[in-house]
Amino acid sequence: MRVDNLRHNRYCGYSGNEWMPAQPPPEGKMKANRDTKAAPRTGLRLALAFVFLAIVIATAGYFYYSRYADSLRIEIGNQLSAIGQLKTDQLEKWRAERLADGWLLSLNTAFAARLSQYLEDSAAAGAQQDMLSWLASYTAYAEYDQIRLLDARGATRLSVPSSLPPASSAILERLPEALQSSQPTFVEFYRGDIDQAIHLAILVPIRSGQPGGQALGVVALRIDPTVYLYPFISRWPTPSVTAETLLVRRDGDDALFLNELLFQKNTALTLRIPLASQDLPAVKAALGETGIVDGLDYRGMRVIADVRAVPDSPWFLVSRMDQSEVYAPLRERLWQTVALVGVALLGTGTSLAALWRHREATLYRDRAELSEALHLSDDRFTKAFQTSPYAITFTRAEDGAFVEVNEAFSSMTGFTREEAVTGSSVGLNLWVNEEDRHRVVAALRAGQAVAGKEYQFRTKSGEVITGLFSAQMLQASRELCILSSINDITDLKRAEHERERAVEDLKRSNKELAFQNEEKGKRAAELVIANKELEAFSYSVSHDLRAPLRHVQSYVDMLAHDAESHLSDKGQHYMKTIADASREMGVLIDDLLAFSRMGRVEMCETSVDLNTLVQDTLRDLEATTSARNIVWRIAPLPAVHADPAMLRLALTNLLSNAVKFTRPRDPAQIEIGSSGTADGRVTLFVRDNGVGFDPQYAHKLFGIFQRLHRVDEFEGTGIGLANVQHIIARHGGRTWAEGKLNEGATFYITLKAS
């Protein structure tokens, strides 16, 4: 801008439709005072806005965190309740099954008759052997490790296994009660006098004739809890570091622990907690409390537990988990919530601070520039005008024509100084919205200054930009002029549109995270249900099917004993067929149970020497191979990485299969070898010269219950090879077979090389 131009082009009022002569503005000092008062008011408004938004954000974060904490607590409580209910139901069924075994023996009149004969004459033909056979049938199911027949004095008359030491004092103490009773009696957890091991027992009174007759003796069925009961109690259906199940009973003024604990050893029938220690869930259970409780466990750790009584027993079940594990996701969510709230507060504060800085910078810089323009020399004013980063213009109030523009105006709009001073904002089509220009004109005409207003302007190229616009009337001698400035905030607005898009993305991510956590909760609930169904299936196979089968076998034996002399040869043949079929079904149930358990047994992989493992397996098969003419060809075998027990079961099935299907061959030839290592895996094969199989049915070999030969040709349940495939699959390997009818077969498995 030229100084001469500013000196000689004085500004006067505009006499057109919009511009009109205006009253001289207030003195500069009064205007400065008004601006000074407006600045604190703007800062106070922004500060109040930030405080309000901070409260809203923090409150939202608090409610979100609280809602998640409540839902997590409910979810863990439901999980503990489901596990506790499942275990108490199965413990109740287990006790009922044991008593049912006792009732079956108590009502066996044939057994009572043979016992009476034996007691009258211990040399009675077959009486002792018949009773031992009946008693031995109970040990076949691995529920009872000792069975003994006690007379009224407590002496052991018969036992399985034989030659047992005298009965434990805990059994003898309950013997008088059992002799007087007409029903089986449970002897709760006790320690043996000799081995100090923990046992339970069922005392079954045997009476002559009908129930209520003379007591002949008592059959003691001793239960080893380490076989089924303790593993069942300690098993937890979901992955957990601290979760465990406790079995307790009230013993005087103490809560007595009945099983071994996860974090403390030698506690069964040893660890006692006084009932006065009511912070412990075990004590709460012994005192009759039920449901979800908080408290301290035997280590002094804070836990959440489900406590409930086992029906028809003195037992109480506690399913507990450390609060540190329960609330671990809650601590992670707390930090996430704090981080989200912090980001939101930071973004809000930064946005408001930026707006404050821009508004204040514009206001104070405009005020400083106007003050310098009015009070400083022309040279200093010209320098400030030209070097200002804002687009500054002087306009005549008379006709709105540009008198002077600075270089920033030319850079921002693209119009040269010459193009600007020969026109006006209307002529240059500078305002995008004419209504905005009208409002500015009205405010200036009313003597009001315009400060920091956002308007849109059009450049010479047609690009639309956003600027903070300030303008005011100035009295220069006897004339009026309009000083205006435009601060280009297009980039700032674009940036604001972006810390906003980021906030929206953050909100969307938060919603997605909440949805994912909800889905995880659903999947965890589904996992609990699936595990519950799996446990119910295993129990049904091992108990609900076994018990009726045992009853069938017992009653068949009783019927054969009572009616054998009255049956024809055909009737005796039918009776033998029933007995054989029930025994085959028992084998099938055992095989099916082993197949089911194989998928749930925890693997313990280590380096396994196949040469040693094969020799151990062959020794196990000597009972079936010693009378056969079998030529074994066993090549040197490599070491593999596998679970030794599971791999031994797989080899037993494969070698037993080869021995069985080479029965028609003399000599039988069985070869065991390795066909090499590829991609870190060893291929092992078992080849025989047996009856082979039709290759078109090879895909059926490893299916459960699948057989390619008739039962009268080769015995079996059709589960052995399915078990092999299951075991090898759990090791990450493959199983397949090759063969032809009457030309033998070869079975292959792959395992990880050691």
Q: Which long-range CB contacts under 8 A does 695-700 form with residues at least 24 apart?
A: 695/738, 695/739, 695/740, 698/736, 698/737, 698/738, 698/739
Residue tagged 């109040």 (tokens): 48
- 601-753 sits in which CATH class? alpha beta
C-alpha of 459 from chain center: 61
Which amino acid type is present at position 277?
S
Asked whether the predicted pLDDT for residue 35 surpasses 60, the reply is no
* Separation of alpha carbons 243 and 84, rounded Å: 12
Q: Distance of alpha carbon 732 from its chain centroid, rounded?
A: 23
Any residues with CB less than 8 A from the CB of 62 and at least 6 apart, and which? none
Distance (Å, whole) CA 234 – CA 318: 11
Compute the distance between CA of residue 551 and CA of residue 137 in angstroms, rounded to an integer: 11
In the block, residue with structure tokens 């956002």: 454
Distance CA 649, CA 489 (A): 78
Q: Sign of torsion, CA 234 238 243 245?
A: negative
Strand partners, 295: 303
Minimum mean pLDDT among 16-25, 133-142, 344-353, 725-734: which range?
Answer: 16-25
Mean of the pLDDT values across residues 614-627?
Answer: 89
pLDDT over 90 for what percent of the chain? 30
CATH of domain 108-223: 3.30.450.20
496 falls in which pLDDT band (50, 70, 90)?
confident
Task: Assign 3-class secondary structure to 74-135.
Answer: HHHHHHHHHHHHHHHHHHHHHHHHHHHHHHHHHCCHHHHHHHHHHHHCCCCCCHHHHHHHHH
Give the domain ranges of the chain: 3-22+349-497, 108-223, 501-596, 601-753
Per-residue pLDDT reduced to its tens digit, 230-268 = 999 989 988 889 999 999 999 999 999 999 998 999 999
**Joined tokens for residue 674:** 């390795």
For 173, other C-beta atoms within 10 Å of its C-beta total 12
108-223 has the same fold as 3-22+349-497: yes
Domain 3-22+349-497, CATH = 3.30.450.20
pLDDT at 276: 94
Report how far residue 207's alpha carbon sits from residue 213's, in angstroms, rounded to the nearest whole number.
5
Q: How does residue 372 score in pLDDT terms, banded at 50, 70 and 90?
A: low
Q: Look at residue 214 and tell me whether its pLDDT is greater than 90.
A: no
Q: Which residues pair with 464 in a beta bridge?
A: 458
The residue to which tokens 């922004």 are assigned = 46
Bridge partners (DSSP) of residue 467 are 455, 488
Backbone angles phi, psi at 270, to 5 degrees: -120, -45
Is residue 248 a contact partner of residue 261, using CB atoms and an 8 Å limit? no
pLDDT per position as a tens digit, 314-361 = 999 999 999 888 877 766 666 767 777 777 777 777 877 777 777 777
| Percent of the chain whose predicted confidence (pLDDT) is above 70 | 81
Where do the DSSP E strands lie in 612-742? 630-634, 639-642, 668-678, 681-688, 735-739
* Alpha-carbon span 363 to 365, nearest angstrom: 6
- In angstroms, rounded to a whole number, what is the distance separating the alpha carbons of residues 255 and 271? 8
How far is Cα 648 from Cα 639, in angstroms, rounded to an integer?
A: 14
Q: Which two tokens stand for residue 108?
A: 């066996």
For 322, the enclosing helix (H) or strand (E) is strand 315-322
What does pTM read for this prediction?
0.46
pLDDT score of 16: 31
SS3 content of the chain, % helix, strand, coil (to 5): 50, 20, 30
Binned at pLDDT 50, 70 and 90, residue 184 comes out as very high
Model pLDDT for residues 21-32, shown as the tens digit of each residue = 333 444 444 444
